[in-house]
């Protein structure tokens, strides 16, 4: 299948999905934030009026008893968890490190199953120095061997976040095309779309979201601020280490949020959208317990996002 065929197939699927969902009464995505699982953070989410979370793996999720207690806490707060994060290198070139990563991820699948969390937030895996096609072949082999039987058993899916510094080739359209072409119609791999990473890589997040809308199963909401005067002077690889970009909360960076949400609305997206707080001006993320600075930042960006979202 060629690149044009792949994009055409995905786009056609998206158009059909949009037509089927066009009769829906309203667009109802869930809105929350990415955090570690802790009762203070859950209580803040409840008070702020959020409806979902993305969380990382947690020892409390490793037993049925612990998972049931956590699920009860989430139910009382009116929250669902849309994805469970486990960022490992599935195809690490070092055999011992790969075994450890594969075991960790299969453990995360078990945690997600006990918690009723539908998605595993992940990197694709990578082998630096290898050809892209060779890396993708190994990703496909390892996923089929190690993960897909468990995902099928528990009705779970993997969603790739496009973090360019991670063990990852799913960092944008070029990687997506090769990966989805290699996996074919397998229903277990999709995207955790984070537009901030496209902005800082000078890719078009709106067109990418439009092209791959049917594969967007979970969303991170984060912005990127570009220091244009610095960038124009030093370039993207400054010899003096000058800083030319930073992550911001939604509304403080370059992204056209109206256009981004319009793509999701057209696609009938109704999944989770979680604010990934890495904004140093507001505490650089929710700690455990969540800090007052982080609460302020999340409240401000929640107010901003409610301009566009029916939440």
- Whether 66 and 37 have beta carbons less than 8 Å apart is answered as no
Element (H, E) at 39: helix 39-48
Domains of the chain: total: 1
pLDDT interval class at 20 (50, 70, 90)? very low
Q: Does 242 fall in a domain?
A: no
Q: Torsion angle, CA of 292/59/125/273, rounded to 10 degrees?
A: -40
**Cα–Cα distance between 195 and 213 in angstroms, integer?**
13
Distances (CA, A) of 78 to 52, 67, 70: 8, 16, 12
- Per-residue pLDDT of 22-58, as tens digits, reads 434 468 899 999 999 999 999 999 999 999 999 999 9
- Per-residue pLDDT of 56-95, as tens digits, reads 999 999 999 999 999 999 999 999 999 999 999 999 999 9
Q: Does 14 fall in a domain?
A: yes
Tell me what the mean pLDDT of segment 299-309 comes to: 95
Average pLDDT over the chain, rounded to an integer: 93
- Whether 187 and 154 have beta carbons less than 8 Å apart is answered as no
Distances (CA, A) of 151 to 46, 156, 247, 272: 30, 5, 32, 19
Q: Does 235 fall in a domain?
A: no
Q: Does 45 fall in a domain?
A: yes
- Give the per-residue pLDDT at 2: 53
Lowest mean pLDDT among 14-23, 91-100, 266-275: 14-23
Q: Does 245 fall in a domain?
A: no
- Give the per-residue pLDDT at 25: 43
Lowest mean pLDDT among 12-21, 99-108, 145-154, 237-246: 12-21
Tell me what the mean pLDDT of segment 173-180 comes to: 98
Range of the domain at 199: 3-221+256-304
Q: Does 234 fall in a domain?
A: no
CATH number at 19 reads 3.20.20.150
Q: For 100-152, where are the E strands, in sequence order?
A: 119-122
Q: Does 48 fall in a domain?
A: yes
- Per-residue pLDDT of 50-65, as tens digits, reads 999 999 999 999 999 9
Q: Does 239 fall in a domain?
A: no
Tell me what the mean pLDDT of segment 202-206 comes to: 98
Residue listed under structure tokens 């609460």: 295
Element (H, E) at 245: strand 245-248
- Whether 293 and 40 have beta carbons less than 8 Å apart is answered as no
- Give the per-residue pLDDT at 11: 52
Residue in 195, 160, 184, 25 with CA at minimum distance from that of residue 83: 160
Query: In this structure, is the dihedral angle defined by the CA atoms of residues 254, 191, 81 and 64, taken in order, positive or negative?
Result: negative
Quote the tokens at residue 145.
């061997």
**Cα–Cα distance between 248 and 82 in angstroms, integer?**
22
């Amino acid at each position: 299948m060629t690149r044009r065929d792949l994009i055409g197939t995905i786009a056609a699927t998206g158009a059909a999905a949009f037509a089927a969902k066009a009769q829906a009464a309203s667009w109802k995505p869930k809105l929350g934030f990415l955090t570690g699982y802790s009762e203070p953070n859950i209580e803040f989410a409840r008070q702020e009026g959020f409806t979902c979370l993305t969380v990382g793996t947690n020892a409390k999720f490793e037993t049925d008893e612990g998972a049931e207690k956590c699920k009860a806490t989430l139910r009382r707060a009116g929250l669902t968890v849309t994805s469970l994060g486990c960022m490992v290198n599935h195809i690490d070139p070092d055999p011992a490190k790969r075994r450890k990563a594969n075991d960790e991820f299969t453990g995360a699948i078990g945690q997600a199953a006990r918690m009723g969390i539908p998605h595993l937030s992940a990197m694709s895996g990578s082998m630096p120095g290898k050809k892209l096609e060779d890396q993708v072949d190994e990703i496909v082999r390892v996923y089929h061997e190690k993960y897909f039987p468990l995902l099928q058993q528990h009705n779970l899916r993997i969603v790739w976040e496009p973090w360019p510094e991670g063990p990852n080739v799913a960092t944008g359209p070029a990687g997506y095309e090769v990966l989805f072409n290699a996996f074919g119609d397998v229903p277990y791999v999709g995207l955790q779309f984070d537009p901030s990473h496209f902005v800082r890589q000078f890719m078009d997040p709106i067109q990418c979201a439009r092209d791959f809308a049917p594969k967007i199963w979970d969303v991170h909401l984060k912005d990127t601020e570009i220091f244009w005067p610095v960038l124009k002077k030093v370039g993207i690889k400054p010899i003096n280490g000058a800083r030319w970009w930073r992550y911001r909360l939604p509304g403080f960076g370059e992204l056209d949020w109206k256009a981004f949400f319009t793509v999701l609305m057209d696609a009938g997206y109704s999944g989770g959208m979680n604010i990934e707080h890495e904004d140093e001006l507001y505490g650089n993320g929710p700690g455990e317990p969540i800090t007052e600075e982080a609460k302020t930042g999340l409240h401000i960006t929640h107010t901003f996002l409610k301009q566009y979202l029916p939440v």
